[in-house]
A and B are shown apart, each in its own frame.
Chain A
């Protein structure tokens, strides 16, 4: 049995990934049955779910959020933007990809990634 509590950080996303994440935890895909849950505080979390390219405003908060997450922890970059800034690459407000700011453990490609892809990745982490 696995247990994975996640704190979601929107580092500058277009909200496409957010919609997919929402459906991941909705009745249809129901990731909770695999022991995954979104939580309110990074202190409660085992992983940080990051979406979007990291904008200037969100770089420090993102770092702080990851630091606030107790070890052992994972950082999951959701979507292309998180992976390599996607269409926002080079934008004036963009610092870089998530990996440029915090070390990423799992990357989920897609723009936006399909809920099943996200669930698959999460199950990969919990090995369930």
Chain B
């Protein structure tokens, strides 16, 4: 009985997590846009504007370029699907999501990689000039972010002796004194940079650009219209939210439910939404004050993240 209720519980928690990421993602983007506009002295679009845009996009025509293949059609689905699975198995709201066994940082990284890889292929699929450019840049940045990301994971997982996310989160909850070790601070700094790079935010990429030559992510999706574009938009927003959700639960996991009880889930939900919102606002404020760096200075940024992560590992060793 208890196993069945546990399975149902984890299933429901996962569903809640997916839902909060799916809805919260576009909202988070709206919030960040609003914050930016306010700081720029504008009113800005409503916070829910992204949701409206998405609803509208679903009502529009679908296109497929004549040279494109099924990859073009599959990519947006895959992008969202991987984020959905990732959201389902990550301890955002509770440390007992479904498929807890696979809730591994390494798995998450590669799961998200599936979506971005397919999107990069889709960029090349239509046979246009800018799609290839975007794909090339996106995969390059992705490749350069990878060392920082994995070493960060290494640094974060040494305390828990595992890269399993629920295990890491539980370990922090069990040992609150280890929250602010230099090892974790360095690693989390690196992780934040990587998250910014991976989700195509300033200063790595400007999602609002209209100039194809400066595009990274936008250039890949120039061909998408209607529902496909909606999926891509949702996927990207979810991805950002998910990454920030993981980040906040690694920084300060308090509030996350350690069971699948209703009250725990509600508290967990509230806390994760609040924490992500805070970080989102912080990022938006930060973005107002910086400009996009040149493409070939991105490696410097990522190398910096890598060094931070490595410092994290080293300081962990020193502390031992």
**Could you list which residues of chain A lie within 8 angstroms of chain B, going by C-beta atoms?**
1-3, 5, 27, 30, 32-35, 37-41, 43-44, 46, 68, 70-72
B211: which A residues are within 8 A, CB to CB? 40
Contact B60 A70 (CB under 8 A): yes
Nearest 6 CB-CB pairings of A with B:
A70-B61, A43-B225, A33-B43, A70-B225, A41-B222, A3-B56
Closest approach, in angstroms, between the C-beta of B167 and any C-beta of chain A?
42
Closest approach, in angstroms, between the C-beta of A29 and any C-beta of chain B?
10
Contact A1 B42 (CB under 8 A): no
Give B56-95 as 1s and 0s: 1 = Cβ < 8 Å from A's Cβ atoms.
1001111100000000000000000000000000000000
Docked pose: A34 CA to B61 CA in angstroms: 23
Could you jot down 30 A-B contacts, CB within 8 Å?
A: A1-B46, A1-B48, A1-B49, A1-B52, A2-B52, A3-B49, A3-B55, A3-B56, A5-B53, A30-B42, A30-B43, A32-B43, A34-B45, A35-B52, A35-B53, A37-B45, A38-B210, A40-B209, A40-B211, A40-B218, A40-B222, A43-B222, A43-B225, A44-B222, A44-B224, A44-B229, A70-B60, A70-B63, A72-B59, A72-B61
Contact A44 B45 (CB under 8 A): no
- Smallest Cβ-Cβ distance to A38: which chain B residue: B210
**Could you list which residues of chain B lie within 8 angstroms of chain A, going by C-beta atoms?**
37, 40-46, 48-49, 52-53, 55-56, 59-63, 209-212, 215, 218, 222-226, 229
Known A33-B43, A35-B45; 11 more pairs at CB < 8 Å:
A3-B56, A27-B42, A32-B37, A33-B44, A35-B46, A40-B211, A40-B212, A40-B215, A44-B229, A68-B63, A70-B225
Q: How many A-B residue pairs have CB under 8 A?
A: 71
Interface centre among A34, A44, A71, A72 (most CB of B within 10 A): A44
Query: Does more than half of chain B's interface fall in helix, strand or loop, or is it mixed?
Result: loop
B224: which A residues are within 8 A, CB to CB? 43-44
Contact of B63 among A5, A27, A33, A43 (CB under 8 A): A43
Docked pose: A34 CA to B45 CA in angstroms: 6
Contact of B229 among A1, A33, A43, A72 (CB under 8 A): A43
Given known contacts A30-B43, A32-B42, A39-B210, is B225 in contact with A44 (CB within 8 Å)? yes
Docked pose: A71 CA to B60 CA in angstroms: 6
Contact A27 B41 (CB under 8 A): yes
Docked pose: A35 CA to B51 CA in angstroms: 11
